[in-house]
């Protein structure tokens, strides 16, 4: 079963491909996405990586949490499921960041 990871504190210049390449060192990457603002396309400084197995996901957390990526120490943790949407305005949706997010 695939396991989704939250990757935070990234510099804005990181691309999906760079994220995928980095996490491939820990195992098979199903997807790697840097989250961007819809109107400008600018990175929000975080993203999600989906690994094939729980073991690969844990290896990625162990390898990369707190490690330097382009001058910043990234945060890598298990992604939490999306929060349920409630009435009213505002954004939301998608997976939320892990611990410390």
pLDDT for position 17? 98
Average pLDDT of every residue of the chain: 90
25 located within any domain? yes
pLDDT digits (tens, 9 = 90+) for 64-96: 999 999 999 999 999 998 888 776 655 555 556
84 located within any domain? no
Query: What CATH number is associated with residue 27?
Result: 3.30.70.330
101 located within any domain? no
The whole-number average pLDDT for the span 49-63 is 98
7 located within any domain? yes
Query: For residue 98, is pLDDT > 90?
Result: no
87 located within any domain? no
Q: Could you tell me the pTM of the whole model?
A: 0.81
100 located within any domain? no
> Based on the structure, what is the number of domains in the chain?
1
90 located within any domain? no
Which CB contacts under 8 angstroms, 24+ apart, belong to 74-77?
74/7, 74/8, 74/9, 74/10, 75/6, 75/7, 75/8, 75/9, 75/100, 75/101, 76/5, 76/6, 76/7, 76/8, 77/5, 77/6, 77/101
pLDDT for position 99? 56
pLDDT for position 64? 98
Domain region containing 51:
3-78
H or E segment and range at residue 33: strand 29-36
Query: For residue 24, is pLDDT > 60?
Result: yes
């Amino acid at each position: 079963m695939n396991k989704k990871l939250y990757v935070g504190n990234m510099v804005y210049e990181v691309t999906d491909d760079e994220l995928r390449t980095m996490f491939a060192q820990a195992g098979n990457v199903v997807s790697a996405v840097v989250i961007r603002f819809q109107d400008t396309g600018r990175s929000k400084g975080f993203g999600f990586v989906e690994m094939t197995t729980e073991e690969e996901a844990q290896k990625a957390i162990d390898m990369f949490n707190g490690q330097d990526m382009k001058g910043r120490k990234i945060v890598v943790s298990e992604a939490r499921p999306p929060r349920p949407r409630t009435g009213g305005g505002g954004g939301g949706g998608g997976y939320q960041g892990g611990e410390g997010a």
